[in-house]
C-alpha cells in the first residue's frame, strides 16, 4: 500500500523537499515544514459519498489524508470521532446565534493530543523506530506514552517539574521513562531535541515534528462532517505552541484543496494574558502585509495556570500567525481567573469537565462578547475543548470562593 504524501514545503521560506526528507525542520531557514499531498489522486478514492458509506466512526475514515501507508502501523486504540455539542446557554449569554463545543476530552488519554500522537506513532512505526521521545507539559506526553504503550514502543518524556501531578502519574502508569526537568517547558523541549539528535530517537515534539500537524488536522474534518459537510464560520482555539491552530488550519486547507469547501473559517486564537506570545506577534504585525519569512515570533516568560498552553516561545508560531492572518481571524487575550471560572461554566452548562487550557476557547468567546466584539465573528462558531478536567483538578480546588 502507499500514501498520497508527495513531499514537504517550508512554511516560512517555501523551500521544497522530497517525501523521504529525514530532517524535522527546514535546513535553509530553520523553520517548520508542512506536508504536501497529491490531492488529485486523493479525490479518486476519497469523497463525501465515500465518507457517508464508511462504517468506521474513528479518525481512520480520513486515512487518505494521513502521511503513512498501511493501517497495520496505526496504534490499536479506538481514536473515535468526538462529539460536537450545541451550546445554547452560551448562545443566550453571548448573543451569538449558533455555538458548538468540540469535546476532545473523550479521546483515549483524555486530550486532543491523541489526534497527533496516533498519526505520528503510525509514522514512527512505519519508519522502524523502537524508541520515541517528546517534551511536554503533560498532555502531549501522556498521549505519546499512551500510544507507545498500545504499540509496544519505548517512550521517553521530558516534562517540567511544574506539570500537574495527575499528568505525571498518567505518564508513569503508561510505562514511559519520565525525565523531570528543573525548568519550564521550553527547557524540556530543547533538552529533548538535543538528546534525540544524539541518540537517533524519533522525536514527537510539537512544532518540530511536521507529522503532529497532520494528526491534529483531523478535528477540522470531523467538524466539517458533523455540520453536514459544511464549513463553520469560525473556530475558537486555545493556543500555546501554536500547533493545534496550525493543525486546524491545515485540515480546512486540505478540504479546500479537495474542493469540498469554498472558503476557510475564521480562526480565533485564544491565549492567557500570562502566555500570549502569538497574540503579541499578531498585534505587532497589525494590518501590515508581511511575508512569512519576515514573521518574528515574540518570546515571553509564560506563567499561566493553563499549563497546556504555557509557552515562552511558540515552536509552531509562524504557522499559527499565518493561520490567523490568512483566515481573517483574531487573537483574544484572557485572564487566568476567567479561564478557571469557565471550567465550572462549561461543566455546569454542558456536562463536560475540561481542564484550564481546554476551556480557554470558551473564555475567549465570552471575552469578546463582554465588550461587543462578536459582530464580525462568523457563525456557526465552534470552540475546541482540548483536555479533560481530571488531569488538573488542583486548578479548580485552588479556586477562591
Distance of CA 257 to the CA centre of its chain: 21
Q: Is 164 in the same domain as 218? A: no
Phi, psi of 276 (to 5 degrees): -125, 35
Same-domain status, 197 and 225: no
Enter the C-alpha cell of residue 33.
515544514
**Statement to judge: residues 216 and 290 lie in one domain:** yes
**Mean pLDDT in order along the chain per 10 residues (401 residues):** 90 97 95 98 97 96 98 96 98 96 98 98 97 93 96 96 91 96 94 94 94 98 98 98 98 98 98 98 96 95 95 96 98 98 97 97 97 92 97 78 43
Is residue 229 in a domain? Answer: yes
Give the Cα separation of 327 and 334 in Å (integer).
21
Q: How far is CA 72 from the centre of its chain?
A: 24
Backbone angles phi, psi at 170, to 5 degrees: -65, -40
- Which H or E element spans position 339? helix 336-350
121 shares its domain with 98: no
Q: Are 42 and 4 in contact (CB under 8 A)?
A: yes
* Domain-located, residue 27: no
Structural domain contains residue 310:
yes
Same domain, 232 and 328: yes
d(CA 195, CA 172): 20
Q: Distance between CA atoms of 362 and 338, rounded to whole angstroms?
A: 10
Considering 181, 209, 237, which residue would you say is the last residue of a domain?
209
35 in a structural domain: no
Quote the DSSP letter at residue 351.
Answer: S
Q: Give the strand order in the sheet containing 33-37.
A: 16-18, 5-10, 33-37
Instruction: Pick the last residue of a domain from 194, 209, 224.
Output: 209
Query: Strand 16-18 to strand 5-10: parallel, antiparallel, or no bridges (unpaired)?
Result: antiparallel
Position 38 in a domain: no
- Where among 190, 209, 228 does a domain terminate? 209
Q: Is cis: bond before 380, omega within 30 of 0?
A: yes
Q: How many domains does the chain have?
A: 2
- Residue 304 and residue 367 share a domain: yes
Please return the burial class of 398, using the count of CB atoms within 10 Å of its CB with bins 0-12, 13-18 and 19+. Answer: exposed
Q: Please give the residue range of the domain that contains residue 257.
A: 84-111+212-397
Q: Rounded to 5 degrees, what angle do the CA atoms 123, 139, 109 make?
A: 75
Classified as helix, coil or strand, 316 is: coil
Residue environment code for 206-242, b if the CB has 16+ CB neighbours within 10 A, otherwise e: bbbbbbbbbbbbbbbbbbbbbeeeebbbbbbbbbbbb
- The reply to whether 99 and 127 lie within a common domain is no
- What DSSP letter does each residue of 47-66 carry, written as one string? -HHHHHH----BGGGGGGGS
Assign residue 384 the CATH number of its domain: 3.40.50.1100
Task: Report yes or no on whether pTM surpasses 0.85.
Answer: yes
Which of 278, 281, 348, 253 has the alpha carbon at shortest distance from 39?
253
- In a shared domain, residues 181 and 276: no
**What's the burial of 288, exposed, middle or buried (CB within 10 Å: 0-12/13-18/19+)?**
exposed
Whether 136 maps to a domain, the answer reads yes
Residues 6+ apart with CB under 8 A from 398: none
Residue 276 lies in a domain: yes
Question: In the block, which residue shows the cell 483574531?
Answer: 330
What pLDDT, on the 0 to 100 scale, is given for residue 1? 53
Clarify whether residues 190 and 298 are in a common domain: no
**CA–CA dist 132, 149 (Å, integer):** 11
Q: Are residues 373 and 348 in the same domain?
A: yes
- 236 in the same domain as 188: no
Residue 365 lies in a domain: yes
Residues 106, 217 within the same domain = yes
Amino acid at each position: 500500500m502507499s500514501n498520497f504524501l508527495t513531499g514537504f514545503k517550508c512554511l516560512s521560506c517555501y523551500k521544497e523537499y522530497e517525501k523521504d526528507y529525514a530532517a524535522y525542520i527546514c535546513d535553509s531557514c530553520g523553520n517548520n515544514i508542512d506536508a504536501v499531498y497529491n490531492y488529485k489522486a486523493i479525490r479518486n478514492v476519497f469523497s463525501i459519498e465515500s465518507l457517508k458509506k464508511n462504517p468506521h466512526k474513528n479518525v481512520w475514515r480520513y486515512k487518505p489524508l494521513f502521511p503513512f501507508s498501511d493501517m497495520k502501523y496505526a496504534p490499536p486504540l479506538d481514536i473515535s470521532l468526538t462529539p460536537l455539542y450545541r451550546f445554547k446557554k452560551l448562545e443566550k449569554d453571548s448573543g451569538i446565534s449558533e455555538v458548538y463545543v468540540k469535546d476532545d476530552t473523550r479521546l483515549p488519554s483524555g486530550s486532543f493530543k491523541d489526534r497527533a500522537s496516533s498519526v505520528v506513532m503510525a509514522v514512527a512505526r512505519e519508519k522502524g523506530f523502537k524508541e520515541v521521545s517528546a517534551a511536554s507539559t503533560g498532555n502531549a506526553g501522556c498521549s505519546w506514552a499512551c500510544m507507545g504503550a498500545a504499540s509496544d514502543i519505548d517512550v521517553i518524556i521530558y516534562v517540567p517539574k511544574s506539570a500537574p501531578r495527575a499528568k505525571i502519574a498518567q505518564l508513569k502508569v503508561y510505562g514511559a521513562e519520565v525525565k523531570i526537568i528543573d525548568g519550564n517547558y521550553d527547557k524540556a523541549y530543547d533538552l529533548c531535541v538535543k538528546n534525540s539528535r544524539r541518540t537517533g530517537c524519533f522525536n514527537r515534539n510539537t512544532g518540530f515534528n511536521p507529522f503532529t500537524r497532520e494528526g491534529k488536522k483531523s478535528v477540522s474534518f470531523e467538524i466539517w462532517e458533523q455540520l453536514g459537510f459544511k464549513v463553520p464560520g469560525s473556530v475558537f482555539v486555545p493556543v500555546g505552541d501554536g500547533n493545534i491552530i496550525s493543525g486546524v488550519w491545515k485540515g480546512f486547507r486540505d478540504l479546500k484543496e479537495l474542493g469540498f469547501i469554498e472558503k476557510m473559517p475564521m480562526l480565533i486564537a485564544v491565549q492567557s494574558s500570562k502566555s500570549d506570545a502569538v497574540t503579541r506577534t499578531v498585534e505587532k504585525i497589525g494590518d501590515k502585509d508581511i511575508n512569512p519569512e519576515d514573521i518574528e515570533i515574540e518570546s515571553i516568560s509564560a506563567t499561566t495556570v493553563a499549563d497546556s498552553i504555557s509557552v515562552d516561545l511558540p515552536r509552531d508560531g509562524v504557522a499559527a500567525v499565518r493561520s490567523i492572518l490568512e483566515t481573517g481571524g483574531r487573537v483574544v487575550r484572557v485572564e487566568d481567573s476567567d479561564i478557571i471560572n469557565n471550567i465550572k461554566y462549561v461543566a455546569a452548562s454542558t456536562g463536560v469537565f475540561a481542564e484550564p487550557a481546554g476551556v480557554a476557547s470558551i473564555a475567549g468567546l465570552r471575552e469578546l462578547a463582554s465588550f461587543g466584539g462578536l459582530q464580525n465573528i462568523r457563525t456557526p462558531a465552534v470552540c475546541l475543548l482540548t483536555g479533560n478536567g481530571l488531569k488538573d483538578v488542583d486548578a479548580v480546588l485552588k479556586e477562591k470562593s
